[in-house]
Amino acid sequence: MYLICRDSPVVGADQDFGAGTVLSNRAFQINVEQTAPNMPVFGTTTYTSGSSTILDNTAGGVSIGTVTFSDADGANTISITMAANSYFTFVDNGDGTGSVTTTADTINFPISDQSGTTVTLTFTATDTCGATSPGTMPIIVQNIKPTLTGLTPGVTTSETVDAERQIASYTCSDPSDNVTPTITVSPSASPEYFVTRFLSGTSKTGVYEIILPTQSTSWQFNYDTVNSYTIVVKCSDGKPLGTASATLVVSLSPNQPPEITNLPLGNTIGVSQTKSNGDVIYTIVYTDPDPDDTVGFTFTCNPPGCPLTVLASGEVQLTDDMSNANANGYDVKITPTDNKNNVGSARTLTVVVTELNNAPAFSNLPQIVPIDENVVVGSTVYTASFTDPDLVNTHTFTLAASAYFQIATPTSGAITTKSAINYEALGGVYSYALQVTVSDGILTVTSTVTFTISDVNEALVWNAATYRTNVQDGATVGTVLTDPGFAITDEDTGDTHKCFMNCGVSAGYFSINTACALRLTSAYSLDAGLTSPVTCIVTAVDKGSHTATTTLSITIDDANNYSPAFSQSFYGFTVSGYAGSGTSVGIVNATDADIGTFGTFSYTLNTTALKGNYFTVNSATGVISPTVNLLTVCNCSGSALSMTVTATDKGGRTGSSQVVVYVSEATTTPTTTTTDRYRTFFEDTRNIAWFSVAMVLLAVIAVVTPYVMVRYVCQGPALCKNPCRQRHYFRHMRPYNPKPREVFNSSPRPPPRPQPLQTIRKPPPPKGYQFWRSEKIGL
């Protein structure tokens, strides 16, 4: 904007309209030039982490960065908006900048939904004039790659798979996405030899296994063709760069032939001619390294025509009665084979046909055997013995099924315990009759052994290492203490125990009876210096003389046993009739025999017998002082004021004493003058100081002298042992008369008769030095 002055030599020249400028008969024209407004300008994009990349598990409400717009028109205000985006939140800071954070609604809009993408946020800045400008902020949401753990690099397994089995397991894990496992087998096979499947966990963190399905004769491993497979395991979250992988090498082991382990025998087996068709005369024991193999047997017999066969179970079974045998013995050559047609080593079983077999006979059964409970598991509690004239026979023992007993070795006859025997847990059954059988391979004999369980007294145990109870300080001797909850575990049904106690240095204060009841046997006082708690060792003894100890802690609860007591039953104090508020009158002193909290007390003063509340006592120190000016308010000059001081402890117990305050005589004579004069005696503070001291001494003498005389008279040699005289003296001391004396009439006094003023024209001649006339004053 500028001014055009018509009379100026140049159009558009400046014109000063300042102070002192006088213009008249002038005309001015004002022109306004308007320029186009500036557009907002998109400035910088600042990322909080220093990078435009965030992880796909970023939490809600996390700061991402700031966008900045500027405008050359300084007066403009820039407002910024962001195009709607459910995964990010924008706040216009009002200063040309805006802040971007992840949305707080991570349930409906988790940032992982944008994993592996670049999200471009669009902003619009608008200035005051409505001009707009765009801006963008690219945000790369980086996918977190899954992890694959627990997979071993290699495993060896048999080429024979007759039953499904696991060969490996692994874990796929992703913090934000569901993960899917896959496997690739090389060389590939159809149908698949390897399968992976879910074992446990969740879709984000799951444990998977690799199994070998049951194979059939039409499809199965062949070690001679392929003896190794490479399996690549992948865990994928379905997003770019979202795959973890690992490799498992499966090595096949060739099928191994089975082997017979209980042949050849150290001697032959005898088979009695009494054995019949179908009897099992022997059982072959074998092993096969390949757990999935099916084992069978082939055999040959020499001489031919032996009356037996070998079953797939390994049992050697008669196919005819032994009485029809065509030879005295047979050598049976047995060969194991598996379903891979692998042939094991042949073994020979020699069978001798014997005469009629004699049955064995027990030599020490039947028998009743007592044993104690808690016998060590595995202990031999009895050994069965037998006789058999057929020495060639091999004998084995069996025992009827029992929860507590077993045959340790079938050929020994030793019976041992196989589990703990607790008499109290037997439920009332304490006798076990068990059948024992001995067999010579042809005939069996059965008898009975009966075990009777005896009860053994077992140790008792306190249920807690420490028990606690309490008793009040100063409790009466004989007080029964609160039951601390003593509890003992004793497996012996019906067993009893007695209690004993040792309290060490505190022995004698507490006792315990055999029933474990506690009692105070001697006064225990914390106020006497004894301590709390008291620790005792309690011992329990059962009927088997077993002992168990525990700790008892007895807490002494502090009690308010004593009341405060004053050092004097009567306090007499003297105070000046001129004393003002706060002047110390005297100190009372009380003590409390209790220690701790209950030994703390405070003082109070009862002044109800007075006309007013003229005195108080410091609750902590016992200092008694006036609360008013005794001359002008109390008007009690020359009186003996009686009060009661009380000490109250924290437990509410009290002690009191009588306090009598003697107020010395005081007179008042007002002086009024309007002329200059010398300072009077009492107007000099130095005079008041020594005069006050002198008056106090005189007051003390005035009180003490009669007191000493009366005391001497009352407590002289003839009466010194009569306490009644002393009490009689105090009983007749003058109490405070609530009826004011005439001299203390509280009615206002008539003003003094006015005196004619004298004018001193000439000062008197100087006198000798008087310290109370040290200077002139004007009133």
20 vs 480, residue with greater confidence: 480
580 vs 678, residue with greater confidence: 580
Give the C-alpha separation, 649 to 597, whole Å. 8
Which CATH architecture does the domain made up of 571-674+693-705 adopt? Answer: Sandwich (2.60)
> Highest-confidence range of 386-400, 561-575, 729-743, by mean pLDDT?
561-575
Pairing type for strands 396-399 and 431-439 reads antiparallel
Q: How confident is the model at residue 20 (pLDDT cuts 50, 70, 90)?
A: low
Q: What sign results for the dihedral spanned by CA atoms 203, 209, 210, 216? A: negative
Whether the pLDDT of residue 588 is over 90: the answer is yes
Instruction: Please tell me what DSSP assigns to residue 730.
Output: H
Query: Distances from the Cα of 117 to the Cαs of 55, 140, 435, in angstroms?
Result: 11, 6, 79
CATH fourth-level superfamily of 361-454: Cadherins (2.60.40.60)
In the block, residue with structure tokens 């071993």: 152
For residue 621, give both structure tokens.
Answer: 């120190």
Give the C-alpha separation, 470 to 555, whole Å. 4
Phi, psi of 423 (to 5 degrees): -55, -40
pLDDT for residue 741 = 45
Phi/psi-derived region of residue 256, left when phi > 0, alpha when psi is between -120 and 50, beta in every other case:
beta
pLDDT for residue 772 = 40
Q: What sign results for the dihedral spanned by CA atoms 295, 296, 302, 306? A: positive
Give the C-alpha separation, 416 to 409, whole Å. 10
Give the C-alpha separation, 582 to 614, whole Å. 11
Give the C-alpha separation, 393 to 442, whole Å. 9
CATH fourth-level superfamily of 41-142: Cadherins (2.60.40.60)
pLDDT for residue 678 = 45
Nearest CA to 99 out of 113, 74, 82, 83 is that of 82
Q: What sign results for the dihedral spanned by CA atoms 758, 759, 761, 765? A: positive
- What is the chain's length? 779
Nearest CA to 143 out of 281, 238, 6, 18 is that of 238
Helices 685-714 and 723-731, packing angle to 10 deg: 140
Phi/psi-derived region of residue 742, left when phi > 0, alpha when psi is between -120 and 50, beta in every other case:
alpha
pTM value is 0.36
Compute the C-alpha angle 439/444/446, nearest 5°. Answer: 105
Whether the pLDDT of residue 739 is over 60: the answer is no
Nearest CA to 98 out of 78, 84, 118, 114 is that of 78
Whether the pLDDT of residue 4 is over 50: the answer is no
Q: Which fold would CATH assign to domain 461-557?
A: Immunoglobulin-like (2.60.40)
CA 614 distance to own-chain centroid:
59
Mean pLDDT of 514-520: 92
The two domains 461-557 and 571-674+693-705 share their CATH topology (first three levels equal): yes
pLDDT, tens only, 466-482: 999 999 888 899 999 99
pLDDT for residue 770 = 39
pLDDT for residue 137 = 94
Whether 243 and 147 have beta carbons less than 8 Å apart is answered as: no
Give the C-alpha separation, 555 to 550, whole Å. 16
pLDDT for residue 642 = 93
Whether the pLDDT of residue 760 is over 80: the answer is no
pLDDT, tens only, 24-81: 776 766 666 666 778 888 888 999 988 999 988 889 999 999 999 988 877 778 899 9
Query: Distances from the Cα of 458 to the Cαs of 81, 455, 546, 638, in angstroms?
Result: 84, 9, 7, 90
Give the C-alpha separation, 215 to 163, whole Å. 7
Q: How confident is the model at residue 171 (pLDDT cuts 50, 70, 90)?
A: very high
Helix, strand, coil share (%) of the chain residues, nearest 5: 10, 40, 50
Q: Which amino acid is at 227?
A: N
pLDDT for residue 408 = 86
DSSP element (H, E) containing 134: strand 132-142
Nearest CA to 100 out of 132, 66, 51 is that of 66
In the block, residue with structure tokens 């004989």: 478
Mean pLDDT of 221-243: 88
For residue 147, give both structure tokens.
Answer: 């992890």
Mean pLDDT of 322-326: 80
pLDDT for residue 106 = 86
Q: How confident is the model at residue 23 (pLDDT cuts 50, 70, 90)?
A: low
Show the DSSP H helices in 307-413 as ranges.
none
For residue 497, give both structure tokens.
Answer: 């125990």
pLDDT, tens only, 110-134: 888 888 889 999 999 998 888 899 9
Nearest CA to 458 out of 372, 546, 550 is that of 546
Domain positions in the chain are: 1-34, 41-142, 147-253, 259-354, 361-454, 461-557, 571-674+693-705
Q: How confident is the model at residue 725 (pLDDT cuts 50, 70, 90)?
A: very low
Q: Which amino acid is at 262?
A: N
pLDDT, tens only, 279-297: 999 999 988 887 777 888 9
Q: How confident is the model at residue 727 (pLDDT cuts 50, 70, 90)?
A: very low
pLDDT for residue 116 = 81
Q: How confident is the model at residue 404 (pLDDT cuts 50, 70, 90)?
A: very high
Pairing type for strands 269-272 and 347-354 reads parallel
Mean pLDDT of 739-748: 42
Whether 450 and 366 have beta carbons less than 8 Å apart is answered as: yes
Using CB atoms within 10 A of its CB, is residue 427 exposed (0-12), middle (13-18) or buried (19+)? exposed
pLDDT for residue 689 = 52
Pairing type for strands 615-617 and 570-575 reads unpaired
Q: How confident is the model at residue 719 (pLDDT cuts 50, 70, 90)?
A: very low
775 vs 696, residue with greater confidence: 696
Mean pLDDT of 535-551: 92
pLDDT for residue 1 = 42
Mean pLDDT of 330-349: 84
SS (H, E, C) 347-371: EEEEEEEECCCCCCEECCCCEEEEE
Whether the pLDDT of residue 421 is over 50: the answer is yes
Using CB atoms within 10 A of its CB, is residue 222 exposed (0-12), middle (13-18) or buried (19+)? exposed
Residue 702 three-state SS: helix
Query: Distances from the Cα of 453 to the Cαs of 346, 372, 435, 493, in angstroms?
Result: 51, 6, 17, 15
pLDDT for residue 732 = 40
- Mean residue pLDDT of the chain comes to 82
Q: Which fold would CATH assign to domain 259-354?
A: Immunoglobulin-like (2.60.40)
Which CATH architecture does the domain made up of 147-253 adopt? Answer: Sandwich (2.60)
